[in-house]
Structure 1
């Protein structure tokens, strides 16, 4: 009886300790918990959000898309086009126009640039130009069109207090009259539009994005502080102009010296926010859930219907090159302008808004306490199977409760701490149950242990997969391969084409690495990194790596022809190989880990890949890889000191052992040139190099050595010269 009570109280104390620990996690909100909570929020938003009614406002998006850039010209446009855009939208019946872009510098007047260049005697021409100057002043034309409609311009707050570009307008927000600490976002600098445009605008709002720890935009700030003043966001200011409200009134409540924002009042409506002046963005769906129109179609009056009649128009861009694409729960590539439209839509329907109330923390603490009591009562003195069933039921009920108040009441409460508590307590209870059941089996196990030698068990543990992933220092060969001129190549393709090209390239290249016993380390953009000799030991790691490199070059040549047939650009790659001691193992953080290699030898392999472009070659290896694969043929390329290293190494261009006689003659001829170069017999080296150039066409390499030899003929390096060239860049 006494033993049973002791066990009960020990179990209860452990349960309470876990509950307190989870409560502290809920209070502290570590980054990993925020990430998980963001994922849970995304699931609710995507799969458990009730259908939203149609917006009471006619929300339209005018998109400066790829079509507009092709027809009107690359960005930035002359502002006469934006003036034409506003003019045409006004004719179409738009009632509010909101720009998700800034005009922080005046556009230069071409006549104003010419007049200072005139001679003094050109007074008549100067007079004519002075009369012409206002006619070509795009800023004035744009401002005049802004004055013809209710236009809201954008600003971007900065944390750098030295930034103050453009003009920040006085906000139509009722300011704080009582001191107190609040949780709104604070900024010290800004970028905004020029005064000439602001003077004709009806409002100005900031466009700062609020990113969660995983880079996803789930919330939007409606108010922020700049130098003691509160300013509205672009969506909020657009709504104020749309609703004819004179002033935006924050609704505060004060506890001691702390101010908490509970909402924002416009007219008679109160829009609920969190303490940071943020609201959860109710995304309607994936990108283009709102009607889009191309800016070029508007400017050139090609809109055949009445879509803009009485519309609130947001002007922005979805063009990939203009970098206004954001990651959201509904899409990882989402136009920023549609975020502002979504927030505006939420402001027009405050009764439909999902909120995270100020009492959410107390509600979650209560949930944690209730779940702890239920688990303590249900998981006592039952079998592990029933424990798992009961825990699963409580887990499901907690998740369903959270989804129900989201769906039916529009309340968002964090759910991960509650689910974590259920899982942890359940696992502890199940583990405790298995442990107590196993106490009765230990005697039987002791009998069977005599039939299994302990040494055999130890050997199995030493060779387990877990230890195979442990860190160690080994002699390995590392490979880096990179697509040449990838930036230029990517600019010639759409995002989807670029994705297809990379997939078509990486798949066969990876296959060759696997076929030659390599281990893929990582892909970084257009670069692939691999190594040989781990996790399974491989004494021939150097030859296998070289075999893979030549296979990759052959595959790339074949792919390049296939790409050209599809209308894609041809590709070339550079490969660097190095062998040496490296640290290898399962490395990373608690969020993400990888089996990878580290060390100076790895860095040297990366440097060699970078040098392939410098020498105009597609494959370079170090002297250490040459030593590990001696049966290959090698052309000496250079003796170099790479950036960050004092010791010079010799680098080579490898060829397969069965290379044609012409290849052998080529590498032997250049090796003779390099030998003369190292001996400072520069005149003989130049003569030998000229003979090679007549037969072999390694233009970049030959031109490089021609320049060096000419330089050393004029500036002899001296007796202490070791023939090494120092590279100052990576």
Structure 2
């Protein structure tokens, strides 16, 4: 399996795992609490909405308790409040006060009953549901269950989410809800609910106090203008801290229960602006988020795969969040955590798999390049070549070196094979180290010969100087040490020629080698051959001499002109006047 196929297979596996992870989160509801927290965050990002014009809150606040002599208020006060609100033409009065116990004043009980009968189908009273039984919720005034034509009774309870948060309104245990009854009396159709329906999202308009609020006692004293109450649903309920009717909601950790009712009533009167998005939206988000990063690393060039996977993966996660917010502001609550889970798994998986593949591949390439490229520049070579195993053919100005050991063949004929290889390896190690230490690239070994190039695959302005320095070290230090170790007097032949060098990997799918080809290579090889039968162990061409950045060395000598096979004109050559080079004195 080639690298590209392996990358696609890996990307497919990662994407599949990411999709399954997202679907599992969606199906098991394992992150329900955090998912609901994202809904709260969407409320926060959306910010406050306009103050409702169809509902107001009449609060039983500390001021009212103080002025009316403490809680509970006389039921005659409630009767008077109902009459006042209806006189001011309130559309519906929703009284969030339970009357399950008898009062100490039968006259007040009677006054409240009469006020309720006068209100008829413009009044909703709160009831308490008994969830552990099948009994219907009740409202009692005095010792008997209260009944009045048209008056509605509704359950004030909500299904609390984790943390006690109120986010939805709907039927509980089959009993009509206080909110839906108020909306029904206001003349607005109430959404039908199937069994186990979670209810409708309450579209909270902001923090506590955002709904227009008036003090109970101010309404009772006629201090609230008629226009503020006319045509509106009026929710009457506790607001004093001492009455302990506070609950956390998406927009505020503390909101009075009656104000929650007001927000819920406003939501239903507005036609339920917030609804659960279709299920396929969440599935589509899961798939898109899951495959984004794996596709990015599969399509991207290998050197950019990690960056592409990270960038696209982060973009996919951000896109899910942006889409969720835009959908929310358009009235659709879509699940986000399954898609975010899929995006996270897809991104981490794609980056992790790519990183592991890249580490393994780069280690293989480093091992391969270290055979012929100096270890100090291996990483630079890999970076410049895009980390690919194949060095594409490139043409650079460089210097080619050919180096051959004289007399080794006859020396080896009388020795055991093991010793021959031991000696040969010692020689090749000395020459190779000299080449690599000066930044050269080992191209190939030719028996007891070595071919190298300076200036490729990485460009080197001083390629000729490096090649000459390596040749000098071989002649003056390396060869002497090798001869001392073997007890022999081997000579060596070195040819250097400079010019445009074409180099790169050549071979087949099964075997690749680095090569440098062209006229410069051929000329360097022939100059090495011309050292035979001459006193020179080193010949460098006029082109190499001209390419020296540091100028002519003091010991450079003119070796004359050489007629080389394949070239029409003779090549003027130079050598070094050192004892090791075998050349006569300086020019």
**Length-normalised TM-score, structure 2:** 0.56
Is 1:210–2:180 an aligned residue pair?
no
Of structures 1 and 2, the larger Rg is shown by 2
1:568-587 matches, within 5 Å, as none
1:192 is aligned to 139
Does structure 2 retain, via aligned residues, the 8 Å contact 1:49–1:407? no
Match of 2:103 among 67, 89, 107: 107
Change (3 A) 1:244 1:383: closer
2:275 is aligned to 355
**CA–CA separation in structure 2 for the residues paired with 1:322 and 1:348:** 28
Match of 2:192 among 230, 247, 250: 250
**CA–CA separation in structure 2 for the residues paired with 1:366 and 1:311:** 42
Is 1:329–2:250 an aligned residue pair?
yes
Is 1:85–2:81 an aligned residue pair?
yes
Deviations along 1:268-324, one digit per CA (max 9) or x if unpaired, are xxxxxxx61511111111112122111122223333553223332111011111111
Per the TM alignment, residue 442 of structure 1 is displaced from its structure 2 partner at its CA by 10
Does structure 2 retain, via aligned residues, the 8 Å contact 1:328–1:334? yes
Change (3 A) 1:11 1:377: closer
2:312 is aligned to 390
Change (3 A) 1:210 1:249: closer
Per the TM alignment, residue 371 of structure 1 is displaced from its structure 2 partner at its CA by 2.8
Change (3 A) 1:332 1:300: same
**CA–CA separation in structure 1 for the residues paired with 2:246 and 2:43:** 20
Does structure 1 retain, via aligned residues, the 8 Å contact 2:158–2:172? no
**Length-normalised TM-score, structure 1:** 0.46
**CA–CA separation in structure 1 for the residues paired with 2:2 and 2:191:** 65
Per the TM alignment, residue 343 of structure 1 is displaced from its structure 2 partner at its CA by 1.3
Per the TM alignment, residue 21 of structure 1 is displaced from its structure 2 partner at its CA by 2.5
Is 1:144–2:80 an aligned residue pair?
no
Per the TM alignment, residue 403 of structure 1 is displaced from its structure 2 partner at its CA by 2.2
Is 1:28–2:28 an aligned residue pair?
yes
Is 1:295–2:239 an aligned residue pair?
no
1:121-136 matches, within 5 Å, as none
2:403 is aligned to none
Per the TM alignment, residue 416 of structure 1 is displaced from its structure 2 partner at its CA by 1.4
**CA–CA separation in structure 2 for the residues paired with 1:148 and 1:337:** 23
1:589-628 matches, within 5 Å, as none
Deviations along 1:192-211, one digit per CA (max 9) or x if unpaired, are 33455432561011111221
Does structure 2 retain, via aligned residues, the 8 Å contact 1:202–1:241? no
2:419 is aligned to none
Match of 2:180 among 210, 226, 236: 236
Per the TM alignment, residue 46 of structure 1 is displaced from its structure 2 partner at its CA by 2.2
Does structure 2 retain, via aligned residues, the 8 Å contact 1:60–1:311? yes
Does structure 2 retain, via aligned residues, the 8 Å contact 1:95–1:312? yes
1:403 is aligned to 325
| Equivalenced residues, count | 359
**CA–CA separation in structure 2 for the residues paired with 1:215 and 1:244:** 29
Match of 1:433 among 349, 354, 358: 354
Deviations along 1:82-138, one digit per CA (max 9) or x if unpaired, are 1222232233332321111211122234xxxxxxxxxxxxxxxxxxxxxxxxxx521
Deviations along 1:14-69, one digit per CA (max 9) or x if unpaired, are 43123212201111101xx11221121112222236955x7563x22111100111
**CA–CA separation in structure 1 for the residues paired with 2:139 and 2:115:** 19
Match of 1:373 among 246, 271, 291: 291
Deviations along 1:344-370, one digit per CA (max 9) or x if unpaired, are 1122211x611004x32x321222223
Change (3 A) 1:303 1:399: closer
Per the TM alignment, residue 142 of structure 1 is displaced from its structure 2 partner at its CA by 0.8
**CA–CA separation in structure 2 for the residues paired with 1:219 and 1:13:** 39
**CA–CA separation in structure 2 for the residues paired with 1:377 and 1:50:** 40
Match of 1:73 among 69, 84, 87: 69
Per the TM alignment, residue 2 of structure 1 is displaced from its structure 2 partner at its CA by 4.9
1:117 is aligned to none
2:44 is aligned to 46
Q: Per chain length, whose mean CA-contact separation is higher, i.e. which structure has more relative contact order (CA < 8 Å, sep 6+)? A: 2
Does structure 2 retain, via aligned residues, the 8 Å contact 1:90–1:148? no
2:130 is aligned to 158
Per the TM alignment, residue 144 of structure 1 is displaced from its structure 2 partner at its CA by 0.7
**CA–CA separation in structure 2 for the residues paired with 1:38 and 1:249:** 22
Deviations along 1:569-609, one digit per CA (max 9) or x if unpaired, are xxxxxxxxxxxxxxxxxxxxxxxxxxxxxxxxxxxxxxxxx
**CA–CA separation in structure 1 for the residues paired with 2:153 and 2:99:** 12
**CA–CA separation in structure 2 for the residues paired with 1:403 and 1:141:** 51
**CA–CA separation in structure 2 for the residues paired with 1:305 and 1:224:** 35
Per the TM alignment, residue 424 of structure 1 is displaced from its structure 2 partner at its CA by 1.9
- Give the secondary-structure state (helix, strand or coil) at the position aligned to 2:275: coil
- Give the secondary-structure state (helix, strand or coil) at the position aligned to 1:224: coil
- Give the secondary-structure state (helix, strand or coil) at the position aligned to 2:252: coil
Change (3 A) 1:411 1:50: farther
Change (3 A) 1:317 1:3: same
For structure 2, the residue ranges without an aligned partner over 5 or more in a row are 368-587
**CA–CA separation in structure 2 for the residues paired with 1:287 and 1:278:** 22
Change (3 A) 1:384 1:2: closer
**CA–CA separation in structure 1 for the residues paired with 2:140 and 2:227:** 30
Does structure 2 retain, via aligned residues, the 8 Å contact 1:68–1:294? yes
- Give the secondary-structure state (helix, strand or coil) at the position aligned to 2:71: coil
1:37 is aligned to 35
Deviations along 1:424-463, one digit per CA (max 9) or x if unpaired, are 2111222233333444469999xxxxxxxxxxxxxxxxxx
